[in-house]
Amino acid sequence: NSEIGKPTPVGTYEQGRSDYGIYDLAGNVSEWVSDWHLAEYYLLSPKDNPPGPSKGQYKVIRGGNWRNDAEEVSLTFRNATVPSLRNDNVGFRCAKSID
């Protein structure tokens, strides 16, 4: 969606819906996660569900956004920035567990 030049409303790309009915998971805005960033953390952390460093200077953001190049628009793309950052290409995702 970089050709549009801004984030798009939820539901804009319904044609990308999966067999599970899921869509809009990548490419609009990068998402804040609760982890602090430490560049070498994954070399030292547990393999399964690592808890993340307990403190740091930067917070992790995941996924590409509308300003990124195509290779960065992925759910696995990981970056970091100062927690005070406010702009139109980083946001958060509300989620609810389904029982």
pLDDT digits (tens, 9 = 90+) for 62-84: 988 989 888 888 888 889 999 99
Q: How confident is residue 86, by pLDDT bands cut at 50, 70 and 90?
A: very high
Q: What percent of the chain shows pLDDT beyond 90?
A: 31
Domains: count for the chain: 1
> Domain for residue 56, yes or no?
yes
Residue 5 lies in a domain: yes
Residue 92: inside a domain, yes or no?
A: no
Query: Per the domain annotation, does 31 fall within a domain?
Result: yes
Q: How confident is the model at residue 45 (pLDDT cuts 50, 70, 90)?
A: confident
Rounded to 5°, the CA angle 21-72-83 comes to: 95
In 58-97 the beta strands, taken as DSSP E runs, fall at 59-62, 78-81, 90-91
Mean pLDDT of the region 21-30: 84
Question: Does 91 reside within a domain?
Answer: no
Is residue 26 domain-resident?
Answer: yes
The reply to whether 90 falls in a domain is no
Give the domain range for residue 8: 1-85
What span, in angstroms and rounded, lies between the C-alpha atoms of 13 and 15? Answer: 5
Longest CA pairwise span in the chain (Å) = 40
- In a 3-state reduction of DSSP, which class is residue 66? coil
Q: Is 97 domain-assigned?
A: no
pLDDT: is 61 or 16 the higher one? Answer: 61
What pLDDT score does 83 carry? Answer: 93
Residue 3 makes CB contacts below 8 A (sequence gap 6+) with: none
